[in-house]
Structure 1
Amino acid sequence: MAEILNNRSPPPPPPVADRPLSLGSNPGSPKSSTFSAHYKVSSRSSFQPPSRNGSQRSSQSSSATRQNTVQRPAKRLKSQYPLDSAEPHVEYILVASFDIDRGPIMEHQYPGAISPDEHMLAELMLPDQTHMRQQDWTMFFLHKDNGNQEDEAAEKAARRQARRDRRAAREAAAQGAVVKAMAICTRHSFLHIYKPLLLLALEDYMKLPTPDTLELLYTALNSMDVSMMPRLSRTERHILQATDAKDMFVEKFEQMIAQRAEDVLTGRLPLPRVGSPSRSAAVPQYVVPRDTHELESKIVYNGTPIPVRVPTALSPETVGDFSLIKLIQTFGGPHQSQPQPFALHPHLTTSGAYTHPIIVLINAMLTQKRVIFLGHNRPSGEVAEAVLAACALASGGLLKGFTRHAFPYTDLTKIDELLKVPGFIAGVTNPTFAYHPEWWDLICDLPTGRIKISSSIEAAPITEGTAYFQQHHHSLLSNLQKSDHGGDATGDMLFMEDVNRSISSRHGEAIIRAKFRAYITKFTRVSAAFEETVYGASNLTVIPPTEVDKADGSTSNNTSSRTRAMSLSTLGRNVKGHGYVWPSDEAKARELAASAARIEGWRNTRSYYAFISDLANHTKAPPSPKSSATMADMLATKQYLDIYHSLSKLRTLRLSSAEAGAIYLALESYCSDYQSILELLELTPMSEAGLFHVALGLWHEDARVREAVTTLLDRIRNHPAGRLFVARIGGWANAGFARGLQEKEARVKSAHEDGTNLGFAYEMTFDKAVCESKQFQELALRGDIHIDIQPEPMPWIWRRGVEDDVSSSTWSPTTSSGATATSSASSTSSDISVTATSLPVPFDSSMGNNFTSGSCPAFFTTFVSNATFRSCSPVSLLLQNSVSFFNAERSDAVLSEILDIACASPLSVCAPLMTSLADQLMDDSHCGADFRSRQPLVLQAYNGLVAYEPIFKATCLKDGTENKNYCYADAITNTSNPAEVYPYYTALGLPLPATADPTCNTCLQQTMRIFADYAVDAAQPLSQTYISCADQLNQDCGTGFVDATIQAGSVDSGMGNKSAAMKGAAARSKEMPERFAFWIASLVVIVVVLMV
């Protein structure tokens, strides 16, 4: 086994970081006996920017937790080339020679015959004019014989890549020159590392032409140890390829070394006996490579160690050692110095007659044209490099299907077979090809640096896409084809100017390849937008069911056009859109028109269908939300976000403060784990702007956005790859980041000292078995939830009294404190206490002393202070008994935020909780006596608890407009008709006033449809109020507007005498309809006056 030479010692195995079990903000204390549970699960949400960390005990614990938020779960890494792999590095070694009588002949094939057609292999190994050069090399591809089938399954067939180095030795003997060629057959694409070994082996073979020489080479090549190379995902490969950082993903190499050391200690790797000469070679001292782009190893050939460097990250269409810079300079230089016009072709000359030659080449390969690289009097190796560089150029590391039909070198004897291959890419040295334009569509002359379009090329057909733009009066399409200077609607000229500047600035090969990967990515995105525009849908993008917007390239999501402005946090949770982004609709139309022919030409090619297949394999849309989601389902579901689309908006569009803030909030919420941060880093390469546009959010005017960006950058900084990106954001960004961290730590410390909560969080209590389940443990490990096994802390208590002023309790979504008041209690009553929070709560005013005993107000204090109850935000209890909610209704935006939170609560958890509280409320140890005596506050609390579910569904209804406003919010803010809100109170047992005339719209109809489902339950207050309400609405809106034929109260839910008691309370309410109607009307009028 080979050693990796380095001066550093191998690090110890990295420890597995344990996630803290408790993330509470207060010390533990005994829990209330009423709401006892074993574990508390919290999940961040809503007003404050979402964070996986929750409330921290201190700034130190906060930092410690952040380090674990984006770490991939510790698991055993796999090697790209494991030691126990059955596939050798090199499968065959071939030797061919030229016989003056018989021509090319095969001398040896080791360890066996690779093909019965030895003459064909010998011809491939000995190209034309070999005798004119001292040394040459070339490459060719061998594929499995699939008969006459030409289907996409052939793309997955095993591929043998053969690379060989040729040395032509001339002797001064009378017999003439001796020409021999040696080739190796391997499945690896890093073929260039074997070239020094082939040179040495061919020299030895010239001296001793026996199979033993080939066996020595075969053994040496297959003894190379590259088992310490970790297997990288596609996203990780793209990030590594696009950066020049030498320690990118170094932790993976460290883990591979630690795993190997553990395998040796545990005996998984058998060692030779002690004293064996090979013992030291069997246990090499593996060390971390100095540059993670390459793995340093060695091949011991004939006793001589030969160092080799194996590339760590290779794209599927990257074969051999070539240079895109050389290819661009070869054909771009003559065009810059003396441009010549091309013959116009819609698929190729997308920018007119003076389209850049490299763009013409890319277009030809994308549209599957026949491409020839001609290198007259040039080494065949140079021609082969150009072919392989062109394949990588058009692939961009994303598209496939080019090397499968590439012929790095061929000659005239194989022209008949070559012409049978559609869309081939071939390299030749014979100038005869230049005189047969019917053989090719595009020819690239290496000596002159000129590219020529064949006069016999097939004309582009008129397709539905090109006809679409012509019919819609996009005259630009025809103007571009007729003009010598067709403009730059596609942006290709600017792109090539940027590439040329990078080459002039001596940027490396990796940066140039990253630019062309971005170019091909843009092309696929533009193609997807083209298909959606012309055909209504596209297979080039995968959109989950939650994504409903079309690909918009401009400002179609402009909030200024909305009838009702949405809040920043609401926008952050509703960021949608996908695809490429244009600065305007006009720019989008121009580019789609200019690219229509090229895209249509690509749509029927191998690379097009291969890209769709790869997209389906690599992209998994998040599951659709279930109708009756469990708590685990709710916490595990992650809203979809197209990071490319969001970043493009930040780079391209002039966004308002709210729009930009919404994108930042969405990015912080989405990029919360290892993989999603990798997606972000892939789209922000260091060679471009990096995290510049993300860091701009550090100076946003909204404090919540600044904190969200700080949290996101902190999360990236603690990411194994992201740390290098954050280190390069620049001095001004570092200063803003440091300021943001200080502000965040100060807020955490202040909140810890004050005992207040950091924003709103779902806090649910579950028993031990549920929290120790596999699903919950996976959610906790991923950072989606935090499990606190300590006793629930004592809540921070506020007291409100009779003297509490309504105006002093005005609610604000950004305020975490409120007015404090005292309450005088008699000997038979207790003060009602509620926890400090920024959300409205029920029963936040004076309760009075009209209770039979102190146990009832004490019960109110207990359940109102419970974290689970508060997280449910029960609107059914807020409608009648919440001063803070009443004041919040003054602001349309604030009310929408409250409904956002209330409707995000898990119904499967909150509904059973409210039912349980209703049962406990009627217990004699709590409020049973007051309930039987029909104490008004107790009856209202009971009805609100029982009616939680129907009111939840009714107030969470949204209208059918583009803005998707809440129906309840529209009703309560309708100043022209205060009766809009009356039907909602029927769910609480209040009859609809006879003079009420709500608008007969879809919202009202759907609300009553919900109420009809619950009115059949005798335990629901709706069973006493629905029929009369339905009859009145049908008189005003027309017969059949709502269903008035149901059997109200026909179903007994099992609540027994509780149902009877509720009926009695409802009956009493019927005795005073005028009183209740006046109270509702007064409430609505007050809201209207305050809004005006």
Structure 2
Amino acid sequence: MGSDGGHCSFVLLAEFDILAGAQLKYQFPQPLGVDESVLAMSMLPDGAETQLDDWTIFFLNQTAFNTISPVLALDTPEVRTTALMGEPTSSSKDKPELLCVLNLVRTKKDPNRDRGAWVLALAICTRHPFIQIFKPFLLMALDDYFSDPSQDCLARLFDAVNAMDLSGAPVLTRNEKMVMRFSERKDIFAEKFTHLAQPSQGWNASALRRGILMRNKEREEAMVAVQPPTGQSSPSEASFSLGGSAVWVGTDESGFEVGSGEGEGENDSILSFVGTTIAEPIRRRRSTDASSGSSQAHLKDGTLRPSMIHTPSYYDPTQRSGMAKDTHFYHTTVAYKDHQLPIKMPLSTFPEEVGDYSLITLVKAFSSQALVSGPQHPHLHTNGPQTHPIIILFNALVTGKRIIFLGHRKPAGEVSSFVLSACALGSGCGAVLRGFIERSFPYANLNNRDEWEAVPAYIAGVTNPIFKSSPTWDLLLDISTGSVIVARDIHSTYPVSAAMPLAVPNMARSATFSTETSLGSEEDIIRSANAKDGAKGDFVAKADNNADNLFIEDIKSAIEYHYGESLVRVRFTEYVLRFVRLASRYEEDTTGATKFGHPSCSFDNRQPNPRLGSGIVFNDEAAGRKELAANSHRIEAWRKTNSYEYACADFRNAQLVDAIQGIDVGHQLFRMRNARSMSDTEVTVIMRTLAENIKTYDQVVELLAHLMPHGGGLIHLAFSLFHQKETVRDATVDLFNQLRVYPVGVMFLQALNHFQRYAYVRQAHAREKRLQEQQQHQQQQPQSFYGGGSSFNNRVYSSDRMITPTMNGGF
């Protein structure tokens, strides 16, 4: 993203006049070509005079009534291509780019004015979904305008925002964003910030190389000075480090003492190969030997333990000037008049996530099933009368219902936040589905009611209670009371037809996907679809089989125990992913093929080359069919929406650009984590296939994007290190060796428990030694080349110099 990236397209200023009402006073740098009264009413919400400050959000270029005329800012090619980082391409190239408008309304008491107050609204239009970073600009600029009411204030704001330099911000792919948002480590992808170092600060590649070599030499001397007791050889942690960042770094008990005997010479030789751009001090696990005691600082011969030896300070990229303390954000400053405004730009935002939203607030506001009223509809009430309000909202979002959030006597900014939270909920926090923001109106009013109500499946936020009696909505959520109302005529608006018959189960789809339980029988669903409005017993939902409600209970428990917003978002992302995979299976069963998912099949070893499974299948086929039947109506309704079309387009695009091709990675990982029983052959094929297809950086990140830390990360794959078959253990070591090449992979390896880390290091060390012995036996010359036959060391050793490959900003 360049420094002249056109972060701000327009600046608008509106003023409330006691006689003329809301008036749009300034449009800078030129008029937008939209009805000025529409813009003014959107900027000055109802009851704005009762609030000292209020933030509202609305969008432009959604429909014909708010589409702006072409302007110079929108016609810049380089701006268009770098406006949003990592988002999927739109299915319609001719569709105008959506603009987000962040608006600040302020009421200033002034006895010299009519009604004793001065009400102004200042807004900026931007392409960025992380509009919250612009709030400091608006606060300063509006104060500036109150003291000097002229268009020069708008020009200064426009220039200051566009002068913001985000060229140093890492451009992350979708998978990198997923890994970043799932990880709580504040140094995740720190290597992507290495370009921030300036030569004037004394840092360059040559100096770094010399420093690493010197540190390696000092470390070798320190390790040689230690003479551990002879006995069984232990693996060297240094030989399994990435520039000093060992697999164990980050824990109190995080290392093992260097062994002696047969492996001693090899350990010394491997030590000479340590050194890349990432380096952290190596820690050693406290001894668990009862004879020595973990608190002793000396060995029996008086020599200092390795943990007590002074180690040189290693190069740490997070300590350089300009490096963010938390790499989830890009930190910069922007000059506005005489002030330096700090900017904290989130790096893992998707286009469907606009502004500051809170799923926790949304769940807390609508948490009572007793406050749900109106008839039950199969599109909405997938669990009958036990359907939770949040599940009803999700179903309404994905099935394209017209939704209104009503906040009578509430600030317009609060209502807007609920609309944005709902859009994030339906999209899986922007990571799974899309198409919600383009039909959302975070603040809507009577002035343009006819226009936004004409938008199919709109999601609107209003403050006027008159909308409660409107016949144009399907679901109304009152944020003041927490009540959820389903429209009385929803059955006539959305008539329900009989569900399409599911395919007869076959042997190819047997027992490969674990599911919780069924949600109800097919007969229950059909009976509910034909029930009259308001009839009791529309659904027969079993409390012990209610997967959606169990999910909501987990969310409520997480909130009660004060888990953060990030965990709640991850759980909703998982929920939407599960819905999409279930919908893919349903489409395949009813139509014979699926357009947005892998075909469902089980592992097949009857062929010479065994075939891996894919898609979502069930351990209990009968329970799986009940779950598909229970979700059939909302899936059928979703398949008629734009969100479904986007999902199909995104899947086609992923098939072309994904780094891992021909494998349903999610299916294999789910099998490794949840399968009740797996044959040795299937485990072998899965681990070997992963090891052979995950080698490049993009492939590693794509794998890690499926491994959510709260679900254990690599722990379930690491269990293969203890498998009875050597081929499985070797394949797991090969896979972990490829992960270890990259800093992000090292972080995931560090998250393994002590037993798994030790098993990995021990087996990798033994395997490397075995390979080296085979090379020495095959070669007639005493001199050998590392890296040619060892997949573990990945470095080349020559008689006259050491060569370290360039990767991830290294030298």
Aligned position for 2:18: 100
Deviations 1:621-669 (A, max 9, x none): 89xxxxxxxxxxxxxx987221111111122222133322332222222
Aligned position for 2:624: 588
Contact 2:433 2:643 in 1 (8 A): yes
Supply the distance in 2 between the matched residues of 1:476 and 1:302 (Cα, whole angstroms). 67
Supply the distance in 1 between the matched residues of 2:482 and 2:384 (Cα, whole angstroms). 20
Cα gap change, 1:788/1:531 in structure 2, threshold over 3 Å: closer, same or farther? same
Aligned position for 1:246: 186
Contact 2:106 2:119 in 1 (8 A): yes
Contact 2:18 2:114 in 1 (8 A): no
Aligned position for 2:554: 498
Contact 1:343 1:353 in 2 (8 A): no
Aligned position for 2:109: 170
Cα gap change, 1:358/1:674 in structure 2, threshold over 3 Å: closer, same or farther? same
Contact 1:353 1:486 in 2 (8 A): no
Supply the distance in 1 between the matched residues of 2:383 and 2:645 (Cα, whole angstroms). 26
Q: Secondary structure at the match of 2:139?
A: helix
Aligned position for 2:349: 314
Q: Are 1:540 and 2:596 counterparts?
A: yes
Match of 1:367 among 385, 390, 399: 399
1:699-778 superposed matches below 5 A = 699-755=722-778
Supply the distance in 2 between the matched residues of 1:462 and 1:221 (Cα, whole angstroms). 51
Aligned position for 2:662: 640
Aligned position for 2:210: none
Cα gap change, 1:204/1:258 in structure 2, threshold over 3 Å: closer, same or farther? closer
Aligned partner of 1:551: which letter? S
Match of 1:664 among 687, 691, 696: 687
Cα gap change, 1:471/1:288 in structure 2, threshold over 3 Å: closer, same or farther? closer
Q: How far apart are residue 576 of structure 1 and its match? A: 2.0
Q: Are 1:679 and 2:715 counterparts?
A: no
Contact 1:341 1:353 in 2 (8 A): no
Contact 1:125 1:164 in 2 (8 A): yes
Match of 2:380 among 343, 348, 353: 348
Q: How far apart are residue 200 of structure 1 and its match? A: 2.0
Q: Are 1:698 and 2:721 counterparts?
A: yes
Q: How far apart are residue 104 of structure 1 and its match? A: 0.7
> Structure 1 length as normaliser, TM-score?
0.54
Contact 1:489 1:590 in 2 (8 A): no
Match of 2:525 among 473, 477, 493: 477
Aligned position for 1:530: 586
1:111-126 superposed matches below 5 A = 111-115=29-33, 117-126=35-44
Q: Aligned residues, how many?
A: 626
Q: Secondary structure at the match of 2:39?
A: helix
Q: Secondary structure at the match of 2:386?
A: coil
Contact 2:406 2:461 in 1 (8 A): yes
Supply the distance in 2 between the matched residues of 1:673 and 1:154 (Cα, whole angstroms). 32
Q: Secondary structure at the match of 2:385?
A: coil
Deviations 1:253-301 (A, max 9, x none): 1146579999x99xxxxxxxxxxxxxxxxxxx96221111111111211
Contact 1:480 1:487 in 2 (8 A): no
Cα gap change, 1:154/1:135 in structure 2, threshold over 3 Å: closer, same or farther? farther
Supply the distance in 2 between the matched residues of 1:232 and 1:260 (Cα, whole angstroms). 27
Contact 1:370 1:441 in 2 (8 A): yes
Aligned partner of 1:293: which letter? H
Extract structure 1 runs of 4+ deviating beyond 6 A. Answer: 258-262, 469-473, 786-790
Aligned partner of 1:501: which letter? S
Supply the distance in 2 between the matched residues of 1:259 and 1:406 (Cα, whole angstroms). 47
Aligned partner of 2:100: which letter? Q
Contact 2:371 2:482 in 1 (8 A): no
Contact 2:683 2:728 in 1 (8 A): no
Supply the distance in 1 between the matched residues of 2:372 and 2:36 (Cα, whole angstroms). 45
Aligned position for 2:489: 456
Aligned position for 1:412: 446
Contact 2:426 2:433 in 1 (8 A): yes
Aligned position for 1:431: 465
Q: Are 1:443 and 2:476 counterparts?
A: yes
Supply the distance in 1 between the matched residues of 2:498 and 2:762 (Cα, whole angstroms). 55
Aligned position for 2:72: none
Aligned partner of 2:576: which letter? I
Q: How far apart are residue 497 of structure 1 and its match? A: 2.2
Cα gap change, 1:557/1:174 in structure 2, threshold over 3 Å: closer, same or farther? closer
Aligned position for 1:764: none
Deviations 1:5-52 (A, max 9, x none): xxxxxxxxxxxxxxxxxxxxxxxxxxxxxxxxxxxxxxxxxxxxxxxx
Flag structure 1 segments of 5+ consecutive residues without an equivalent.
Answer: 1-80, 266-284, 543-549, 623-636, 758-779, 791-1092
Aligned position for 1:288: 323
Aligned partner of 2:596: which letter? L
* Alignment RMSD: 3.4
> Structure 2 length as normaliser, TM-score?
0.72
Supply the distance in 1 between the matched residues of 2:9 and 2:660 (Cα, whole angstroms). 46
Q: Are 1:514 and 2:570 counterparts?
A: yes
Supply the distance in 1 between the matched residues of 2:397 and 2:417 (Cα, whole angstroms). 16
Supply the distance in 1 between the matched residues of 2:65 and 2:371 (Cα, whole angstroms). 45
Deviations 1:99-157 (A, max 9, x none): 111111122222222235222211111111111121112011111776999x9627842
Q: Secondary structure at the match of 1:684?
A: coil
Deviations 1:175-198 (A, max 9, x none): 322211111111111111221221
Q: How far apart are residue 462 of structure 1 and its match? A: 4.8
Q: Secondary structure at the match of 1:619?
A: helix
Supply the distance in 2 between the matched residues of 1:445 and 1:155 (Cα, whole angstroms). 37
Q: How far apart are residue 356 of structure 1 and its match? A: 1.3
Supply the distance in 1 between the matched residues of 2:552 and 2:199 (Cα, whole angstroms). 46
Match of 1:233 among 173, 181, 186: 173
Cα gap change, 1:426/1:155 in structure 2, threshold over 3 Å: closer, same or farther? farther
Aligned partner of 2:2: which letter? P
Aligned partner of 2:408: which letter? H
Aligned position for 2:358: 323
Q: Secondary structure at the match of 1:475?
A: helix
Contact 2:378 2:525 in 1 (8 A): no
Contact 2:373 2:486 in 1 (8 A): no
Contact 1:341 1:354 in 2 (8 A): no
Contact 1:539 1:612 in 2 (8 A): yes
Q: Percent identity?
A: 34
Aligned position for 2:317: none
Q: How far apart are residue 489 of structure 1 and its match? A: 5.6
Contact 2:24 2:40 in 1 (8 A): yes
Supply the distance in 2 between the matched residues of 1:101 and 1:605 (Cα, whole angstroms). 44
Aligned position for 1:205: 145
Q: Are 1:389 and 2:421 counterparts?
A: yes
Supply the distance in 2 between the matched residues of 1:155 and 1:311 (Cα, whole angstroms). 29
Q: How far apart are residue 700 of structure 1 and its match? A: 0.6
Deviations 1:541-568 (A, max 9, x none): 26xxxxxxx503xxx5476xx6xxx8xx
Contact 1:698 1:710 in 2 (8 A): yes
Aligned partner of 1:751: which letter? Q
Q: Secondary structure at the match of 2:450?
A: helix
Contact 1:342 1:353 in 2 (8 A): no
Q: Secondary structure at the match of 1:112?
A: coil
Match of 2:633 among 597, 600, 621: 597
Contact 2:62 2:439 in 1 (8 A): no
Q: Secondary structure at the match of 1:439?
A: coil
Q: Are 1:127 and 2:66 counterparts?
A: no
Aligned position for 1:153: 92
Supply the distance in 2 between the matched residues of 1:342 and 1:502 (Cα, whole angstroms). 30
Q: Secondary structure at the match of 1:320?
A: coil
Deviations 1:938-997 (A, max 9, x none): xxxxxxxxxxxxxxxxxxxxxxxxxxxxxxxxxxxxxxxxxxxxxxxxxxxxxxxxxxxx
Aligned partner of 1:384: which letter? S
Deviations 1:465-522 (A, max 9, x none): 4354899994253367733534576721222222223223322222222222222111
More deviation in 214-223 or 404-413? 214-223
Cα gap change, 1:217/1:694 in structure 2, threshold over 3 Å: closer, same or farther? same
Q: How far apart are residue 353 of structure 1 and its match? A: 1.3
Q: Are 1:577 and 2:577 counterparts?
A: no
Aligned partner of 1:325: which letter? I
Cα gap change, 1:480/1:748 in structure 2, threshold over 3 Å: closer, same or farther? farther
Q: How far apart are residue 354 of structure 1 and its match? A: 1.4
